[in-house]
Structure 1
Amino acid sequence: MNPDIPARAAVLAGLGGWVPDRVVTNDELAARLDTSDHWIRTRTGIGSRRVAAPEDATSDLAVRAGAAALEHSGDPGVDTVLLATVTPDHPCPATAPDVAGRLGLTGAAAFDIGAVCAGFVYALATAAGLIAAGAADRVLVIGADTYSRIIGPDDRGNLAIFGDGAGAVVLRAGEPGEPGALTAFDLGSDGSGRDLITVPAGGSRHPATAAVAGADGHFTMRGREVYRHAVTHLTRSARTSLDAAGVAPAAVDRFVPHQANLRILASVADELGVPPDRLVSNLHEIGNTGAASVPLALADAAAHGELAAGETVLLTAFGGGLAWGSCLLRWPELPPSPRPYLRRSTP
């Protein structure tokens, strides 16, 4: 690197979230499926989830969350839009350019990132690289998914876990070490686990023709095996980021993992040695929202005053692929958050 060129870092400048109005409770699922509120809560920690309206696609959720993040940042302009999603509006083209255009950002670089539930952290790392290289100055990073579109109508397990939503952050170019600067990224994958979380049909391997319509077009997950991999890789990735930054787990003020299920979150916090009261989660209210889960948890916590300037915040996520990623930041002083996107209820 040219020593005459100052180093640049991606710095958090704003955040926002959006979830659909429709609430699907555990009791509603139990009324038509072989399950119960008790069964779902004890296995996942989830009490309800949000489901997008029939007329809403992933781009619609992403636009709402992106607009909230841009407003919170105080500057509506960005030069790059990254959308992490496993449920794009279409297989082709990418959804990000449409989102950018609808936000008034025509001309901005825009592309999708597909790393399933790890997608948002992958998108953060991509944005940080673009900013560090001088290829971007302000980046809107969105995680958005509509799992209700790809889960089978009788899939008791996955219907209980997943919900729809979108979360977003704005990153600006800044200096390494300043509050809000993203650092200590760790990314990884293991393709031998590609069949653990998948939608079998719809790609070039297994085209979604009429002959393979139906179950092969729905999302599948081998829960017990995913649980084991999730705990292992989330813990290992988070620890790698902490070690790279020279931060002890006990020094983590707020731990924000992908909102997979409560058992996984508690196990990872315990394995790391992060006190349970420092875990940030809104899983009970909205379920697992895929690539949206980390930014939604951040936006919710910020809106309710649960993230203070100067706190060390650890992010980590795991998803299909298999793929995982982690990073750290020191929470910056941000403008007051707008009205929370989520009105909390009592667990």
Structure 2
Amino acid sequence: MTQEDCFRPLFIEGMGRYMPARCIDNAALSEMAGMDYHQIERRNGVRTRHFADRAAGETAPEMGARAARAALEQAGCTMADVDLIISASGTSHQFIPDQAVFIQQALGAGRSGISCFSVHTSCLSFLTGLDIAASHLTTGRYRRILLVTSELASAGLNLKDAESGPLFGDGAAAAVLRLPEAGVPSGVVRCRFESYGDDAELTGVPGSGTNLPAHDPATPADASYFRMSGRGLLRRALQHIPPFLAAFYPELARGEDDGAAYILHQASRAGFQLVESIGLPPERVVRTLAEYGNCVGASIPLTLMKAVETGVLRRGQRAAMMGTAAGVTYGGMILVY
């Protein structure tokens, strides 16, 4: 059995989001970064993005906790009903301990003993978390899982970098997960990830880890800034995405329409141009790039929420969630919502 063939029941009981109060439009960003604001949307596809104010308490754990509370409220649950917290984010509050325990603390459950851990596959972290959660629920290891993605991309941005500075935004999203009731067909139909480590240098933050420690005098001052080669990533995507889709989603290759809503990582304007070349039905391709920017791992769950709220995705319908991530990794999941 291949990685994409195993159906696992999973029910999204509730979802929540938190977007920082400070919304930065392109005119404001151009003043901050010293660039032509007319070029920003034309190049990146972003009109506005949210930047967290850490001094005002908008930290990654607090943002994640606010999204989690909204998800718990929608699900009709409390923290007493949760037995696992998964933090699934590309950015992190600090190196050690992992972000999940800080989210637990921010939720007022720091003495609860609820199991916590983090997963990190940058922009695909939420899908990785869903994949792991589905397996844990299927085996009965846990009964209700709180999956939280909270990203402060702005903390690592060089705003004067015209390629990446205007592209990213901050935000958090959360989901409460459990097994579906009898007769409810919700679950993970298939899931596939492919990673190509030889392309790791195309995007990332070289500093902040053991490779370039912050306290080492030899570490460059800009090592903690995010950097990317947009052209290099696009070139690799054109090479790898067609065979990835053929293996993961053969219905597309055959021109079949399974009625899915398309929940894509909001990578960039160029990324959507690639999507358009695939021929997905535009009315079922949900977009949040223009309003939120690229929110790293939070992009997919934020877009999933919009799909539900706008009626593009309904109960019992398939959601085709796909994206790319640093690594370079390509990933996708077909979920019956």
Judge same fold: TM > 0.5, yes or no.
Answer: yes
Percent identity among equivalent residues? 28
Q: Note the 1:115-134 alignment, pairs <5 A.
A: 115-134=121-140
| 1:268 match | 275
CA deviation after TM superposition for structure 1 residue 133, in Å: 2.1
Checking the alignment, whether the CA contact within 8 Å between 2:195 and 2:328 is kept in structure 1 is yes
| 1:250 match | 257
Q: Note the 1:285-300 alignment, pairs <5 A.
A: 285-300=291-306
How many corresponding residue pairs?
324
**1:291 alignment partner, SS class:** helix
| 2:143 match | 137
| 1:343 match | none
Checking the alignment, whether the CA contact within 8 Å between 1:9 and 1:176 is kept in structure 2 is no
| 2:3 match | none
| 1:220 match | 227
| 1:20 match | 20
The answer to whether the aligner puts 1:53 opposite 2:41 as a matched pair is no
CA deviation after TM superposition for structure 1 residue 43, in Å: 2.1
Partners of 2:319 and 2:73 in 1: CA distance: 23
| 1:67 match | 69
Checking the alignment, whether the CA contact within 8 Å between 1:65 and 1:166 is kept in structure 2 is yes
State TM-score, norm by structure 2. 0.88
**1:250 alignment partner, SS class:** coil
Checking the alignment, whether the CA contact within 8 Å between 2:33 and 2:159 is kept in structure 1 is no
Partners of 1:178 and 1:244 in 2: CA distance: 24
Checking the alignment, whether the CA contact within 8 Å between 2:18 and 2:66 is kept in structure 1 is yes
Structure 1 unaligned spans of 5+: 1-6, 332-347
CA deviation after TM superposition for structure 1 residue 270, in Å: 3.0
| 1:301 match | 307
The range that moved more, 220-229 or 142-151, is: 220-229
The answer to whether the aligner puts 1:173 opposite 2:179 as a matched pair is yes
Q: Note the 1:1-347 alignment, pairs <5 A.
A: 9-55=9-55, 56-76=58-78, 77-105=81-109, 106-174=112-180, 178-209=184-215, 211=217, 212-230=219-237, 232-233=239-240, 236-243=243-250, 249-271=256-278, 273-331=279-337
- Superposed CA deviations along residues 75-111 of structure 1, whole A, max 9, x for unmatched, are 2222111111222111000010121233244322211
- Superposed CA deviations along residues 156-187 of structure 1, whole A, max 9, x for unmatched, are 32121000001111110237983431220112
Aligned partner of 1:95: which letter? Q
Checking the alignment, whether the CA contact within 8 Å between 1:9 and 1:181 is kept in structure 2 is yes
**1:119 alignment partner, SS class:** helix
Partners of 1:276 and 1:243 in 2: CA distance: 19
Partners of 1:202 and 1:13 in 2: CA distance: 36
Structure 2 unaligned spans of 5+: 1-6
Checking the alignment, whether the CA contact within 8 Å between 1:312 and 1:328 is kept in structure 2 is yes
Q: What is the root-mean-square deviation of aligned Cα atoms in Å?
A: 2.4
| Structure 1 pair 83–176 and aligned structure 2 pair: CA distance change class (3 A) | farther
State TM-score, norm by structure 1. 0.86
| Structure 1 pair 314–247 and aligned structure 2 pair: CA distance change class (3 A) | farther
Aligned partner of 2:284: which letter? R
CA deviation after TM superposition for structure 1 residue 208, in Å: 1.5
| Structure 1 pair 197–8 and aligned structure 2 pair: CA distance change class (3 A) | closer
Partners of 1:275 and 1:324 in 2: CA distance: 21
